[in-house]
A and B are shown apart, each in its own frame.
Chain A
Amino acid sequence: MTFEYAPAPESRAIVSIKPKYGHFINGSFVAGKKHFPTINPATEEILSHISLGGLSDVDKAVAAAQKAYTKTWSKLSGKERGKYLYRIARILQERAREFAVLETLDNGKPIRETRDIDIPLVAAHFFYHAGWADKLDYAGLGHSPKPYGVAGQIIPWNFPLLMLAWKVAPALATGNTVVLKPAETTSLTALLFAEVCQQAELPDGVVNIVTGDGSTGAAIVSHPGIHKIAFTGSTEVGKKIARAIAATDKKATLELGGKGANIVFDDAPVDEAVEGIVNGIFFNQGHVCCAGSRLILQESIADEVIEKLKVRMSKIRVGDPLDKNTDLGAINSKEQLVKIKELSAIGDAEGAERWSPQCNLSDKGFWFAPTIFTGVTQAHRIAQEEIFGPVLSILTFRTPQEAMDKANNTPFGLSAGIWSEKGSRIFWASQHLKAGVIWANTFNKFDPTSPFGGYKESGWGREGGKHGLAAYLKVGKETGAK
């Protein structure tokens, strides 16, 4: 007996998209000179036209942020700053469905995820950080913590509004003002967030949003009026930023790539582990820096897990992101789809064995079936490089130590997963894994109270929790013995 699902589309009537958007500078929208189209990756329909920010736009935004910092924001008490953030959190909750639909249209991710994960976490982030604004002296970060001034923030396309929240909420709570650039393909929710700032009567210039491409981001990074850079994106661009600011006093947090190991021991609860594996790599189409993109299975249970995984993967519904039943949405861009196809082809060429369930993929839009590769070795490029798509590389191990060695054998160190019913083994493994975030018998969980960030080439610093505040505060000099 098979279950069929009737289409259950979420209405898009709740959003109204303007044909053209400007930048959000000093509290109002300012027309851009050049524009580029932004599309729905599920249909290739042009949704709107976004301004391509240049040097002069960045200049204006930085000037507005500097003025807001010195004239208003730095003069407000933490208590009052916090109240603005609470207002923003509440408005985001009120308009959550609108944001969810818009995010799904612009990004291609399923409405189930934007509605149940992205947008609720966005509101939670603002609510959490709001409460820090008047408690920074108690955060234990050092004497009299002070903001840097203007933070330049550059965010990716995989969690557009959530990454905005991860950046803007702590920056504002700590008393910084911001110039933010959303990703080229996903600017719409950031621009809708600008309206939320207006509704919250956030003082002009505290949040400025300049849309554009990599050149706009580079202009922000190199702008002398910016004191702190926060970037989420690829390791390649992260290294470029590190080089660009090397000879300056600018501080930076970098949340970069990963090649997360999801390790399943022979005593793991297999059905739960299979759910965790699916969530680890197919959540958000695998466009997740901390995705569990390497499955490391104990040899004795490998066949059983792979078989169950294939059965489970056959139930993944790939299709219309606005359909409430959809599990796997569209790949965010043509460019990303090409990258996924290229690396998968390299997996074939290097001798790994590819498997995907039967999927009917639309001709329009950008799609990639959920895919696993078995017979992967550590030397394979699909075991070393971030694919950033719904593609899982499966390796096996015999001893726990071998699992650790394999898990740690990449230049990255962002995330890892451990599946086992044995407490001591979980703690042992979590001590040995060189990763900033480790999930034991779960995967891809996020929370504003929980610091996120990586070891090694996965970046610098943490976002979220007490640790995330440190990135936006300088502390007084401590001298001498106490």
Chain B
Amino acid sequence: MATQKQARVDVKKTYKLFINGAFPRSESGRVFEVTANNGDFIANPALASRKDLRDAVTAARAAHSGWAKATAYNRGQILYRIAEMLEGRAEQFTSEIAQTTQITSLKAKAQVLAAIDRWVWYAGWSDKIQAVSGATNPVAGPFFNFSIAEPQGVVAIASPASFIEFIDALAAAVVSGNTSVVMVPGALAVPAMSFAEVLATSDLPAGVINILTGSLEELAPWAASHMDIDGFDISGIEKRKRGALKEAGAENLKRIHAFDAGQTPTRILAFMESKTVWHSVGV
């Protein structure tokens, strides 16, 4: 059977940012070019600015109390829903990753499938992390004393360039009830903004995840010194540049961490805060 080439012209996507559940352009009007390995033009993602970061933090802060208050069961179901939505678009993500990185289609596909499984894995943590990390403490007195872990608030993420590490950072930050502003570098903008479309159809409340594309070099220092960011995952920043960010983050004693690739509950707990409550016992 002979294949017939359609002379149809593709409808290409305009790449924007993902802030507060909407897709605004960068207020700066700036974009940067992403090309395929063979040099073909792929997209002009938005080059996010400091002002975009501030807007994203405002959205994340506003979304925090609602997301933290949602039941763990509910958060788990929404994270699982993200996996469902991603599964349906696995091929699209595979081709976007293969086009914008040096890895083969086969490996790109493996990464996408792993990313889906990660959402399932993290979804399950929502109502279990407490049992693993909390404690009732047998104090020497007439008190009922327990420690629980709570989300810290707004967590910024300087994402590594790979899609799977982007997912790990994001899922670990939000599963506990944090809201996030994730900054993605370079060509990761392409699958990351497609991922924003997944989020937009996953019942995730607006503002829980906000995605900024562009330059970590430009955005990360603003995030480090932002006084309304509680935690900062700097896994995507080269080791020699992390010191400067930690120094800037000391101004409000941000919890700043970097992680190796991989899934671990340690990563969830790094952006949680332990609260210990003493209840007086008596009649």
Chain A interface (Cβ < 8 Å from any Cβ of B) = 124, 140, 142, 235, 238-239, 242-243, 246-248, 254, 256, 411, 426, 430, 435-442, 445, 447, 449-453, 455-457, 459-460, 462, 465-467, 475, 477-481
Contact = CB atoms under 8 A, between A and B. Distances in A.
30 contacts: A243-B247, A246-B243, A246-B245, A247-B244, A430-B275, A435-B275, A436-B275, A436-B276, A437-B277, A439-B278, A440-B278, A441-B280, A445-B141, A447-B145, A449-B140, A449-B145, A450-B137, A451-B137, A452-B276, A456-B253, A460-B253, A460-B255, A462-B276, A466-B135, A467-B135, A467-B274, A475-B266, A478-B266, A480-B263, A481-B121
Contacts of B249: 242, 246
| Max count, chain B CB within 10 A of own CB: residue among A142, A247, A450, A465 | A450
A265 B249 CA distance: 37
Given A435-B275, A438-B276, A478-B264, 6 more contacts: A235-B253, A246-B242, A254-B253, A438-B275, A441-B279, A441-B280
Contacts of B143: 442, 445
B29 interface: no
Interface string B250-283: 1111010000101110100000011111111000
A440 B135 contact: no
Nearest to B65: A432
Interface string B221-254: 0000000001000000000001111110111110
Residue among B135, B145, B152, B274 with the most chain A CB within 10 A?
Answer: B274
A442 B278 contact: yes
A194 B112 CA distance: 58
Contacts of B84: none
Nearest to B275: A436
B103 interface: no
B147 interface: yes
A431 to B, nearest CB: 8
A440 B260 CA distance: 40
A462 B149 CA distance: 12
Contacts of A140: 132-133
Interface residues of B, number: 40
A74 to B, nearest CB: 23
B250 A246 contact: yes
A116 to B, nearest CB: 13
Contacts of B279: 426, 440-441
Contacts of B139: 445, 447, 449-450
Contacts of A438: 275-278
B255 A437 contact: no
A47 to B, nearest CB: 32
Contacts of B255: 460
B247 A465 contact: no
Contacts of A411: 252
Contacts of B141: 445, 447
- 9 closest A-B pairs by beta carbon, nearest first, are A247-B243, A246-B246, A242-B250, A447-B139, A441-B280, A246-B247, A478-B264, A449-B137, A479-B262
Contact of A430 (B133, B242, B277, B280): B277
B39 interface: no
A242 B276 contact: no
A79 B205 CA distance: 51
Nearest to B255: A460
Contacts of B121: 481
B253 A142 contact: no
Contacts of B275: 430, 435-438, 455
A438 B147 CA distance: 10
Contacts of B117: 481
Contacts of B88: none
Contacts of A256: 253
Given A142-B266, A430-B277, A435-B275, A450 B253 contact: no
A239 B252 CA distance: 8
A124 B253 contact: no
A455 B132 contact: no
Contact of B250 (A124, A142, A239): A239
B147 A465 contact: yes
A478 B242 CA distance: 23
B273 A455 contact: yes
Contacts of A478: 262-264, 266
Nearest to B145: A450
A464 to B, nearest CB: 8
Interface in B173-211: none
A238 B253 CA distance: 9
A457 B253 contact: yes
